[in-house]
Amino acid sequence: MPSLIRTLKLPSGETVPVLGQGTWKMGEDRRRHADEVAALKLGLDLGMTLIDTAEMYADGGAEEVVAQAIAGRRDETFLVSKVLPSNASRAGVKRACESSLKRLATDRIDLYLLHWPGSVPLSETVQAFEALKTEGKIRHWGVSNFDTDEMENLVGLPSGGNVQTNQVLYNLSRRGLEFDLAPWSRQRRIPLMAYSPVEQGALARNARLEAVAARHNATAAQIALAWIMMQDGVIAIPKAGRQEHVRQNAAALDIALTAEDLAELDRAFPPPTRKRGLEMI
């Protein structure tokens, strides 16, 4: 079992673990349902109490998996879900949130995100989020897949400064945001939530990571996770559909990468030297 999970403070002052649980691709296959529920429950047992999901994942199926996992444990869970840009109008956000609440079998979502920028004016979406806060249906809101210019626009809107996080694709092989979005976010104390921190398993099979892993009696995937959790102001949300995988993710918390390790990883995965467009999958 890992040591106590480090926490990170949201702009609201609330703390969340730096290692949470993702659910992308959960709820797609009934044969995996019991394993997925069990994996999320074990994650809660190990202190990975932030669970991230979305109405888009398996057309709501992932939210139903989460509902079973958190049944009887809602108060210990920090629940994150997302609304699609196509539902981001004032009326659409309200309907989407109520549908998510029903699937999640809860009366509130702790952090509700706009899944990516869309055609609905951002000011309207922010107003809808603020209305949901007033009604008690969500506690906080944030965004996902927003680049620096989009974040600048957001925080300039009325109530836009209430944004709590920006969930983005970030891992050793996707470091472009370190050029400007990451420092911009750190300066404003808006945490980044890193999805696909192991690049959907691709980094788990990387020979350069395995060389570092051998020094720590760890796996390449654990090194990738340990690296992302060392980044200032970053929350990692790997998805694990099996209990063994959950335990491996949790054990990454105890890996202390050395200066030599970090230099080797920088050589293998160079940080950006110029602005790149924000990547997403």
How far apart are the C-alpha atoms of 271 and 107, rounded to whole Å? Answer: 42
Verify whether residue 170 is a known catalytic residue: no
Q: What is the rounded (10 degree) CA torsion for 106, 107, 112, 118? A: 100
Q: Of the residues 57, 112, 170, 195, which is catalytic?
A: 57
User: Minimal CA–CA distance to 13: which of 132, 191, 167, 148?
Assistant: 191
**Residue pair 140/109 in contact by the 8 Å Cβ criterion:** no
**Counting every residue, how long is the chain?**
281
Which residues are catalytic, by number?
57
